Amino acid sequence: MTASALKSYGFDVDTDEQNQSVVRRLAFEELAEPSAGTRVFSRPAVATAVSPRPVSTPYTFFSDGSSLRAPSPMGLRAWKAIPTSAGKTFEWEGLVLEIQDASFSARLRNIKGAKAEYDEIAQFDLADVPPGDRDLLHPGGIFRWVIGLESRSGTRQRYSRIVFRRLPAWTSRSLKKSEKELKALVSGIQWIKNDATSTG
Amino acid sequence: MLPEIERNNWSIVLIGSFNPAIFHPSWFLVNEVISKETAEIAEVHVVHSEVASVTLGPLRLDVQRNRFSLQTEQSPEISLLDFVLRVFGDLLPHSQITQFGINRTVYFRAPSSERRTQLGRTFAPTIPWGAFGERIEGSKGVTLGGMTNVSMREVLVEAAWSGHCEARLMPAYEIDADTGIQTHVNNHFELKDYTEGDGAMAALKVLKNEFEPRMERCEEIILAVLGHLE
């Protein structure tokens, strides 16, 4: 993702002492002049999908590939009112490094959109984290940072969203189990002594 | 320039044996699958012993006795995987899951009605259809005919599962009657040698390993289709 494109979403890229890219949030005053038809946020717009009335998507797809047109009581208008990601999306996986008073730092790995093949360090405001995910914010916490366009009822707006991953406990259990099995395997190896006097 | 994708839909569909009655937002909240804020805005359309349909923030859940479907129209789609792994890996590991699908649907527009018709002719030529094809080729205006639905399937076989990747292309009247196009990709997985005692873990292991690669494959297929409209 180019620096100018990042800027239009409210972020900028600096270089720190270790020559690593550091993504920082721009103050509102620094934001680029928005082009016609776009909205620029000084803090990320955390979009929540709130459907005013029950809706059904037009199609239901079965895992075997067949599909069924589900009944759609509220019709096309309701379907179009569901917020949907549109256009190009940029996504990073973040690993929380440090938490300060009003911000936290994270190491970012590109998932999609950006061309960088190296990790980047970024600073985020604590306010960028949805209240419901604050309990997941700790060093080592993993999140996805997504920026892009969202379409809803024909209107478009840019968004920046942080979503912490609620990972299953069984993956950490299975990691510990694998570690235990590996240790048992290694400890079970009978090492043959290297006899320096052997000529065979 | 490639046409812009106007709508996205990602979904995971599980086939097996489920109890729809338990899938209420309060159950997800108590088990920390969703946050308190998500539970507060959740919508319960129906929760019954035969069917459950709830909206949990950006996620839409529809469950029947033999089918569990979770979909979203908002990135990050990895939320689907985390949700399923959490529910069936931590909370309901004894659920029977014998098959599953990783799906993506996108909607976009052709630059013009003519370009959409041309796309249809590319994927479904009229020449092989003889006189019928000739009539379609010559049709125009209100009698304009052509491709309504075309599917292609890649068969997949691995040691632990078999399945396929099926891509489907069709007009999308919901987007625009003359230029709207929908592309849907279904990655279907069927476990081999599944027995009742296997629970959910066999499927979850495959799902966890295959989710992101399959989503990349969906992207590759969609870009190939979009490329014809550049």
Residues 6+ away with beta carbon under 8 Å from B48: B20, B21
List CB contacts of A143: < 8 A, sequence separation 6 or more.
Answer: A93, A94, A96, A106, A133, A136, A162, A163, A164, A165
Instruction: Provide CB contacts within 8 A for B198, sequence distance 6+.
Output: B96, B191
pLDDT of residue B9 exceeding 80 = yes
Tell me what pLDDT residue A6 has: 57
Contacts of A133 in chain B (CB under 8 A): 35
Does residue A58 register a pLDDT over 50? no
- Percent with pLDDT over 70 in chain A: 55
Tell whether A165 lies on the interface with B, counting CB pairs under 8 A.
yes
Mean pLDDT of A154-181: 78
- Predicted TM-score of the model (pTM): 0.78
User: Which residues of chain B lie closer than 8 angstroms to A146, CB-CB?
Assistant: 75-76
Q: Which residue has the higher pLDDT, A43 or A139?
A: A139
Confidence band, pLDDT 50/70/90 cuts, at residue A185:
confident
Give the pLDDT of residue A172.
55
Residues in chain A with CB shorter than 8 Å from the CB of B11 are 61
| Residue A11 scores a pLDDT above 90 | no
- Which pLDDT score is estimated for A114? 78
In chain B, the residue whose alpha carbon lies closest to the alpha carbon of A136 is B35
**ipTM score here?**
0.90
Per-residue model confidence as pLDDT tens digits over B33-90: 999 999 999 999 999 999 999 999 999 999 999 999 999 999 999 999 999 999 999 9
CB contact under 8 A, A65 and B164: yes
Residue A99 · residue A135 · CB < 8 Å:
no
User: pLDDT tens-digit profile of B80-127?
Assistant: 999 999 999 999 999 999 999 999 999 999 999 999 999 999 999 999
| Mean pLDDT for chain A overall | 70
What order do you get walking across the sheet with B43-47 strand by strand?
B43-47, B51-56, B59-64, B67-72, B5-17, B96-109, B180-191, B161-171, B150-157
- B152-164 pLDDT per residue, tens: 999 999 999 999 9
B192 vs A56, more confident: B192
Per-residue model confidence (pLDDT) at position A20 = 53
φ, ψ of residue B105 to 5 degrees: the values are -130, 135
Judge whether B25 is closer than 8 Å to chain A, CB to CB. Answer: no
Interface test with A, best of B33, B36, B73 (most A CBs within 10 A): B73
Contact yes or no for B35/A130 (Cβ under 8 A): yes
pLDDT band at A180 (very low <50, low <70, confident <90, very high): confident
pLDDT on residue A168:
81
Of A67-71, A110-114, B62-66, B147-151, the one with minimum mean pLDDT is A67-71
Q: In whole angstroms, give the CA distance from residue A12 to residue B65.
A: 50
- Residue B82, Cβ density class (10 Å: 0-12 exposed, 13-18 middle, ≥19 buried): buried
Residue A71 has pLDDT above 50, yes or no: no
Q: Give the Å distances, CA to CA, from A20 to A112, A118, B37.
A: 20, 9, 36
Token readout for B228 is: 């014809």
